[in-house]
């Protein structure tokens, strides 16, 4: 049996067990004693950005945009016209999947039939069963999905600002691809990507719940030994080829009032701090500057310049870093200027002080602690924040040691080389 390596987090009364199986699969177990529900999530580190890479033989491989999402859909299709989603339902489990920029996750939650559902989760991702006819049908379904998203103004706003910040890259396109790109996807494309990215060494299995760790490990090892996998060399992923940002763009849609997004694209991080530390620092900084507890937010809100739709999204990844401010506002041009000017004068903001810093720290810590009470939410957050050196449970320690000075300095480093853009949706 593979060795279990335990990590204790006494500050939050949690622990994690890490196991690397012989075939390369990483198994992570988070025991949640007394919880009735169990969530299992099997993640392939393969997302919408992975359309170009170099294989172990040095060959450059290029695939149509949307292939990771397309493969996510088709893997639920089993032999003899069976559907994995229906099989999960028959077991009393609620199953789903999602594709992101850098990973695709399949998961289920259940209070019963945990062993059977866990076997099914591993089995249906180990092989492909689709053919040309089913691929053509799926193209129609995903094409309709793409059309549906094009009618959603919030989605168009988000995709529009990303297109400005990362033109002519996979980030500029829908994770599902375009109606044109998915038409180019072939059966062989899907099978090749499955061989490359659904190999156990490129996957992580996370189990969260009140379970027997030794039994779970024994079961997973037995299942993995039974599921023979072809040996495939490691791939080298291509970095984003970033072009200058598009400074501004706008479109018109059927919306009640304008929608604005202001985005900042950062360069590759140069700080000695980890990516997770930098992300937490940026969250704290901009929560002070423009979060709901700031004087600026309250002034703008009471003045009718913004409403509850105002949001801040921060991403700090090895391959891309951005901050996006979005809001429904009657004065998008003026609001874009206000956000830019406020960030330029960050040092002079009265909202950035020790008292406010401790307040936003407590708020973030409270959100973190509440997330521990839901196995579904915990599994999703844990996989989102997981790196080779850090995980979600490191957040309390990061918050404790992060100073206001460090936080402001990380923000300044990000903004010093960041390019800014805005995207606006005007009513027709």
Question: Are residues 304 and 396 part of one domain?
Answer: yes
Predicted local confidence at residue 183, as pLDDT: 97
Query: Of the residues 202, 237, 272, which one is the last residue of a structural domain?
Result: 237
- In angstroms, the CA 107 to CA 41 distance is 4
Same domain flag for 287 and 225 = no
- 242 falls within a domain: no
Closest CA to 65 of 205, 180, 167: 180
Co-location of 222 and 136 in the same domain: yes
Q: Which residue has the tokens 């379904």?
A: 141
Q: State whether 225 and 294 are in the same domain.
A: no
pLDDT at residue 112, as a whole number: 92
Task: Mark whether 172 and 224 lie in a shared domain.
Answer: yes
Residue 227: give its domain's CATH number: 3.30.830.10
Answer yes or no: do 366 and 222 share one domain.
Answer: no
pLDDT at 3: 85
pLDDT reported for residue 270: 67
Amino acid 378: pLDDT = 97
Q: What is the domain range of residue 292?
A: 248-427
Q: Are strands 248-253 and 52-54 parallel, antiparallel or unpaired?
A: unpaired
20 and 154: one domain? Answer: yes
Looking at 237, 260, 294, the residue that finishes a domain is: 237
Q: Are residues 92 and 223 in the same domain?
A: yes
CA distances from 115 to 150, 169, 223, 374 (A): 40, 41, 11, 20
Q: How many domains does the chain have?
A: 2
Alpha-carbon distance 284 to 291, whole Å? Answer: 9
Identify whether residues 252 and 151 lie together within a single domain: no
The per-residue b/e assignment along 103-125, b for 16 or more CB within 10 angstroms, e otherwise, is bbbbbbbbeebbebbbbbbbebb
The three state secondary structure string of the chain is CCCCEEEEECCCCEEEEEEECCCCCEEEEEECCCCCCEEEEEEECCCCCCCEEECCCCCEEECCCCHHHHHHHHCCECHHHCEHHHHHHHCCCEEEEEECCCCEEEEEEECCCHHHHHHHHHHHCCCCCCCHHHHHHHHHHHHHHHHHHHCCHHHHHHHHHHHHHCCCCHHHCCCCCCHHHHHCCCHHHHHHHHHHHCCHHHEEEEEEECCCHHHHHHHHHHHHHHCCCCCCCCCEECCCCCCCCCCEEEEEECCCCCEEEEEEECCCCCCCCCHHHHHHHHHHHHHHHHCCCCHHHHHHHHCCCCCCCCEEEEEECCCCEEEEEEEECCCHHHHHHHHHHHHHCHHHCCCCCHHHHHHHHHHHHHHHHHHCCCHHHHHHHHHHHCCCCCCHHHHHHHHHHCCHHHHHHHHHHHHHHCEEEEEEEEEC
pTM over 0.85: yes
> Which residue is associated with the tokens 């299992």?
40
Q: What is the pLDDT at residue 238?
A: 87
What is d(CA 119, CA 307) in angstroms, rounded to the nearest whole number?
47
413 Cα distance to chain centroid = 24
Same domain, 229 and 370: no
Beta-bridged to residue 6, according to DSSP, are 17
One domain, residues 288 and 221: no
> Are 213 and 268 within one domain?
no
Q: Is residue 143 part of a domain?
A: yes
> Encoding tokens for residue 392?
């979600």
- Distance (Å, whole) CA 39 – CA 371: 14
Report pLDDT for 239.
86
Going from the first residue of the chain to its last (428 residues), give the mean pLDDT of each consecutive group of 10, the final group possibly shorter. 90 96 96 96 97 92 97 95 96 97 97 96 95 94 94 97 96 95 97 95 97 95 88 84 95 97 89 90 98 97 95 94 97 97 94 98 97 96 93 97 96 95 97
Which two tokens mark 345? 């004068």
Domain's final residue, options 212, 237, 262? 237
Instruction: Report yes or no: 105 and 43 within 8 Å, Cβ to Cβ.
Output: yes
Please report whether residue 243 resides in a domain: no
């Amino acid at each position: 049996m593979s060795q279990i390596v335990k990590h204790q987090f006494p500050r939050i009364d949690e622990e994690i067990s890490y196991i690397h199986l012989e075939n390369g699969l990483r198994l992570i177990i988070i025991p949640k004693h007394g919880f009735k529900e169990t969530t299992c999530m099997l993640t392939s580190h393969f997302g919408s950005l992975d359309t170009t890479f170099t294989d172990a033989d040095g060959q450059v491989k290029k695939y149509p945009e949307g292939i990771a999402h397309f493969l996510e859909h088709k893997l639920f299709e089993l032999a003899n016209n069976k559907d994995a989603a229906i099989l999960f339902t028959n077991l009393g489990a609620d199953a789903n999947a999602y594709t992101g920029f850098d990973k695709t996750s399949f998961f289920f939650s259940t209070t019963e039939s945990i062993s059977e559902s866990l076997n099914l989760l591993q089995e249906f991702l180990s092989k492909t069963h689709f053919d040309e006819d089913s691929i053509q049908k799926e193209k129609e379904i995903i094409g309709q999905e793409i059309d549906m998203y094009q009618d959603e103004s919030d989605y168009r706003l988000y995709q529009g600002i990303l297109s400005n910040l990362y033109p002519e890259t996979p980030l500029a396109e829908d994770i599902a691809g375009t109606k044109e790109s998915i038409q180019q996807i072939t059966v062989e494309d899907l099978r090749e990507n499955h061989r490359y990215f659904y190999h156990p060494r490129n996957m992580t299995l996370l189990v969260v719940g009140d379970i027997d760790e030794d039994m779970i490990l024994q079961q997973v090892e037995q299942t993995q030994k039974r599921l023979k996998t072809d040996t495939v060399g490691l791939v080298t992923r291509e970095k984003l080829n970033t072009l200058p940002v598009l400074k501004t763009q706008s479109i018109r849609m059927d919306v009640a009032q304008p929608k604005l997004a202001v985005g900042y694209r950062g360069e590759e991080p140069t700080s000695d701090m980890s990516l997770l530390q930098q992300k937490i620092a940026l969250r704290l900084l901009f929560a002070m500057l423009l979060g709901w507890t700031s004087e600026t937010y309250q002034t703008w809100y009471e003045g009718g310049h913004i409403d509850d739709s105002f949001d801040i999204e921060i991403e700090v990844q090895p391959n891309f870093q951005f901050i996006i401010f979005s809001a429904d506002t009657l004065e998008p041009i003026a609001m874009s200027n206000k956000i830019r000017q406020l960030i330029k004068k960050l040092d002079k903001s009265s909202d950035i002080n020790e008292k406010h810093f401790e307040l936003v720290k407590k708020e973030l810590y409270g959100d973190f602690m509440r997330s521990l009470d839901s196995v579904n939410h915990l599994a999703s957050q844990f996989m989102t924040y997981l790196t080779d050196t850090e995980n979600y449970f490191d957040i309390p320690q990061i918050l404790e040691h992060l100073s206001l000075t460090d936080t402001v300095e990380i923000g300044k480093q990000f903004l010093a080389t960041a390019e800014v853009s805005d995207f606006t949706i005007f009513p027709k």
